[in-house]
Chains A and B, each alone.
Chain A
Amino acid sequence: MQDTLTPISAANWDADGQLEVLTFDLAGETFAVEAMLVREILDLLPETIVPGASPLVRSVVNFRGKIIPIADLRLAFDMPAAENTIDSRIIVIEIAIDGEPTQIGIRTDKVHEVATLNHADSEKPPVVGMRWRREFVHELVRQAGGIVVLPDLSAIFNTKSPESGTAYPAVAS
């Protein structure tokens, strides 16, 4: 929680106010992660569930001999769970968790493309009219096709599953 403003989350817009991102679909919304953070795009892998883990990262996979967690961002954004489809992919990103570079796989419905966003088109998330947790959204960027959500991955993953249970539904056990 201490680093809601890490360099990573504070989207690295370049001098021209542009940012290269990889866009993907999640429950009908278009999201984007900074291309700098992306390590690889994978087909779905056999996942191993970690009992007792936070539902956001409830499983792990073998990614080239490393055990990496698979995150379902739907849970961070209160979206209904969905079945995997033929387009489902895993985006492996690398961000700092507790100051340690960590690879995380993000399960997506579909991966689109590498695009360039303009800072001029971006806005901070509005105070009202958004059902998502505001600190999880870094910026909203208007694009031709609609709105692209730039999630604050650092905030999402560095937020410990709170005891109050508002962020993620409690483990069904």
Chain B
Amino acid sequence: MSAQDPIAAFRVEAGELLGDIEQALLDLSHDLTSHDLVDSVFRGLHTLKGSGAMFGFDALAGFTHHCETAFDRVRKGQVPATEELVTVILSAMDHMQALVDGDGAGLEAVGDEILGRLHQAIGAADASVAVEPTAASVAAPLSAPAASGWRITFRLPTDCMTNGTNPLMLLDELRSLGDAKVTAQTDQIPSLDELDASQCHLGWQVELRGDASRADIEDVFIFVMDDMTLDIVPIEADDADETQAEAAPTTALAADTGSVASTQATPAAIEPGTGDAARNAKVAPAKAQESVRVPAERLDVLMDRVGELVIVQSRLAQLSNQGVRGPAGELALRSVAEDIERLASELRDTMMVLRMVPVASLFGRFRRLVHDLARETGKTIELSTHGETTEVDKTVIERLADPMVHLIRNACDHGLETPEERVAAGKPEAGHVTLSAHQAGGEVLITIRDDGRGINRERVRAKAEAQGLIEPGAQISDSELLQMIFHPGFSTAAQVTNLSGRGVGMDVVKRTIESLRGTIDITSNPGDGSTVVLRIPLTLAIIEGLLVRVGEGCYVIPLAVVEECIELSLEEDMRSRGRSFITLRDRLVPFIRLREMFATGTKPDPHQKIVVITTGGERVGLVVDQIIGSHQTVIKSMSPLHRDVATFAGATILGDGSVALILDAVQLVAFGQEQEERLRAAG
């Protein structure tokens, strides 16, 4: 994050701010009376407006200003926070994100449309308030423009300058609002020997003439307001015309934006689309500039390790200068080697931890999604999350986002029933979606659970039969039936809604999870809802592997998929010339001769081994020449020129510096299944 483009830095900062505001808004939608949340939304918007203007994002600053104004009124109790307002501001946030990411060209219409809705929301709230005469009368003088000016008297806390507050800048800001006459109040300045030059002893009185509103003035003091004394009184009106001239534009604006909103034929239908666009846009620049927040203590640990490494390195240098002589020298060398080994593995572990980020950052995004989904479907959906502190590799988090969006959409759209259906089924009206994460061994389990209607077996079966995936009336197990939904083009939704059918099918979800070397399991009880469990390895960079030799080449099989290793006996080998099957505990397991598949052109070893691997309940045997042993495998990606070779998931470097390829278990099993089907068809 050092010396970088300030615009880029602002984008990152704005992204974080928007994220914070969004969280606060979502919290607010659950607790509409919370002043703290209203304040934090307001502060966020205000900061965004300020820094947006500073970096030349004028469209953003202008747009944000309106939202801020709206929230300011909420803050002051002039209008209540409503669900409607939160929703409008949420869509406004998407627009702000778009303005942050782009130059705002062509987005004015969207912005105006949102502002129109904003005014409606505020207006509606106003109307409800207007019933109470007191509130209305409070609102009137505040929202009305200043008569002809204000007399502002303020005094800052004496230690304000140590906090970086500069009274001169406040005065400058006031001057920018209109014609200001500033008088300093010097009555509290102590005598010279008691004077502390670092403290602020002055107060000010400012007579501000012009059309600034009270809110404008208060804005100036927003960051210091808590500790200061501020007194704003209107100067007696001496020109009524000015007042009216000021009032006119406000109503004109409201009318103008209101008409834009009404010309939008289907503002509600547009909203999800723009929301998506904004989210997509959010992904793109994030890629351009990735940054990870690392707790300082983890960096300290890393620093310690590096320090130790430097010491060991100097010991090694000394040793090489002296030369290794005699047993004592050898011992010294060995001890250095051991130290380096220990440090290397500690460094590796520390480094891995640096890449870990809590899943809270992932789960946080879904609150908004569920909020939007609830509105779109008209269902009441509660989202609860557990285990947000579970940490996962940063790359994994990023790649999990899309599949999880799909799974959550499925849960909300297909899984949960409408409130009426739920009540009829004796369930609480609000549907519940639970996201939880926890670590188990080298894996992270992410669970998405809904308490909806569950997967309709009949419909899955009917669909599978219609698509020819299973024979009509065939006996298949429940889990096999549920696996059907992962087939490409498989959708059981009787009607394609706005939410489903966006081109990401369950097959894509499965593929993404498998590309992370994870697995996906579904359990579902009719009437009770469904549970999807994603098992994801903690990190992508290092795996336990089984090193095997085929011909002259060494290959790594991820140990996680290895079920067992058996010997391919000579007679089994002879027998299996015609059919590549072995019987393993009363089950036929097809096997692949890697030597043939890789066309090594070498003679097979006399004692070949079969490594049985399993993914998703399917097993396949891999015939190898020799099993060398387990191997800590640092995964390196293959060059783009080799991306089309699907058999390999990557490569690794062995102890002697040579390269070993890592087999892609999913591909191999698929290959084995294909072979099995071919044989079945032939036989």
Residues 299-335 of chain B, each 1 if its beta carbon lies under 8 Å from chain A, else 0: 0000000000000000000000000000000000000
| Contacting pair B658 A102 (CB below 8 A) | no
- Across the interface, B641 reaches (CB within 8 A) one of A57, A61, A62, A172, namely A57
**A102 near B641: Cβ-Cβ < 8 Å:** yes
Inter-chain contact B640/A62, CB cutoff 8 Å: no
A-side contacts of B657, CB under 8 Å: 46, 62
Kindly state the separation between the CA atoms of A97 and B639 in the bound complex, as whole angstroms: 9
CA distance A66 to B635 in the complex (A): 10
Q: Does A147 contact B (CB under 8 A)?
A: no
Interface residues of A in 25-41 (CB under 8 A from B): none
Q: Give the interface size class of chain B.
A: 20 to 34
Distance, CA A100 to CA B637, complexed state (A): 13
A150 adjacent to chain B (CB < 8 Å): no
Cα separation A104 to B638 with both chains bound (whole Å): 11
A-contact bits for B637-654, CB 8 A (1 contact / 0 none):
111111011011001010
Q: What B residues does A66 contact at CB under 8 A? A: 636
In chain A, what residue has the closest Cβ to B654?
A62
Q: Please, which residues of chain B bring their CB within 8 A of the CB of A97?
A: 639-641
Chain A residues within an 8 Å CB radius of B658: 46, 48, 62
| Contact residues, A53-81 vs B (CB, 8 A) | 53-54, 57, 60-62, 65-69, 71
CA distance in complex: A49, B661 (Å): 9
Contact between A48 and B661, CB atoms less than 8 A apart = yes
> Min CB distance, B557 to chain A, in Å?
15
- On whether the beta carbons of A52 and B645 are closer than 8 Å, the reply is yes
CB distance from B498 to the nearest CB of A (A): 34
| A100→B659 contact, CB < 8 A | no
Q: Is A164 an interface residue (CB 8 A)?
A: no
Nearest A residue (CB) for B650: A67
- Taking a contact as CB atoms under 8 Å apart, the answer to whether B640 and A67 are in contact is no
- Choose from B636, B644, B647 the contact partner of A160 (Cβ within 8 Å): B644
Bound together, the chains give a CA A68 to CA B641 distance in angstroms of: 9
Residue picked from A52, A61, A68, A171, most chain B C-beta under 10 Å: A52
B645 touching A50, Cβ below 8 Å: yes
**Chain B residues within an 8 Å CB radius of A67:** 636-639, 651, 653, 659
Does A24 touch B at the CB level, under 8 Å?
no
Asked if B599 contacts A104 (CB within 8 A), the reply is no
> Contact at B661–A53, with CB atoms within 8 Å?
no
Q: Is A87 an interface residue (CB 8 A)?
A: no
Please give, as numbers and ranges, the residues of chain B lying within 8 Å of A49 by CB-CB distance: 553
Contact B597 A51 (CB under 8 A): yes
In the complex, whether B598 has a CB less than 8 A from a CB of chain A is: yes
Contact B641 A51 (CB under 8 A): no
Taking CB atoms and an 8 Å cut-off, the chain B residues in 615-672 that contact chain A are: 636-642, 644-645, 647-648, 651, 653, 657-661
Nearest Cβ on chain A to B483's Cβ, whole angstroms: 28
Task: Name A172's closest neighbour in chain B (CB-CB).
Answer: B599
When C-beta atoms are compared, the residue in chain A nearest to B656 turns out to be A46
Which of B641, B644, B648 has the most A CB atoms < 10 Å from its CB? Answer: B641
B residues in contact with A48, CB < 8 Å: 553, 651, 658-661
**Pair B598/A53 contact, Cβ less than 8 Å:** no
Q: Give every chain B residue within 8 A of A100 (Cβ-Cβ).
A: 640
CB pair A62–B653 under 8 Å, yes or no, is: yes
B597 adjacent to A60 (CB under 8 Å) = no
Q: How far is the CA of A74 from the CA of B627 in the complex (A)?
A: 36
Tell me if B653 and A102 are in contact (CB < 8 A). no
CB pair A54 B641 closer than 8 Å: yes
Is A2's beta carbon under 8 Å from chain B? no
Whether A57 lies near B647 (C-beta < 8 A) is: no
Tell me if A98 is interfacial: C-beta within 8 Å of chain B: yes
A104 to chain B: which residues have CB within 8 Å? 639, 641
Residue of B nearest to A71 (CB): B641
B643: nearest residue on chain A (CB-CB)?
A: A98
Nearest CB of chain A from residue B56's CB, rounded to whole Å = 30
Min C-beta distance of A93 to chain B, whole Å: 12
State the Cβ distance, A94 to closest chain B Cβ, in Å: 11
Q: Which A residues lie within 8 Å of B639 (CB)?
A: 57, 60, 67-69, 97, 102-104
Within 8 A of B (CB), among A8-27: none
Q: Which of A52, A60, A68 contacts B647 (CB 8 A)?
A: A52
Residues of chain B within 8 A of A68, CB atoms compared? 639
Binary contact readout A101-142 vs B (1 if CB under 8 angstroms, 0 otherwise): 011100000000000000000000000000000000000000
Closest chain A residue to B552 by CB distance? Answer: A49
Contact (A60, B651) CB under 8 Å given A48-B553, A48-B658, A172-B599: yes
Among A50, A53, A71, A102, chain B packs the most CB atoms within 10 A around the CB of: A50
Chain B hits for A51, CB < 8 A: 553, 597-600, 645, 647
B contact residues around A172 at 8 Å (CB) = 599
Chain B residues near A46 (CB-CB < 8 A): 657-658
Q: List 9 A-B contacts (CB under 8 A).
A: A48-B553, A50-B645, A52-B645, A53-B644, A54-B644, A62-B653, A65-B636, A67-B639, A69-B639
Give the 4 A-B CB pairs with smallest separation, nearest first: A51-B598, A48-B659, A97-B640, A173-B599
List the interface of chain A (C-beta within 8 A of B). 46, 48-54, 57, 60-62, 65-69, 71, 97-98, 100, 102-104, 157, 160, 171-173
Q: Which chain B residues have a beta carbon within 8 Å of chain A's beta carbons?
A: 553, 597-600, 636-642, 644-645, 647-648, 651, 653, 657-661
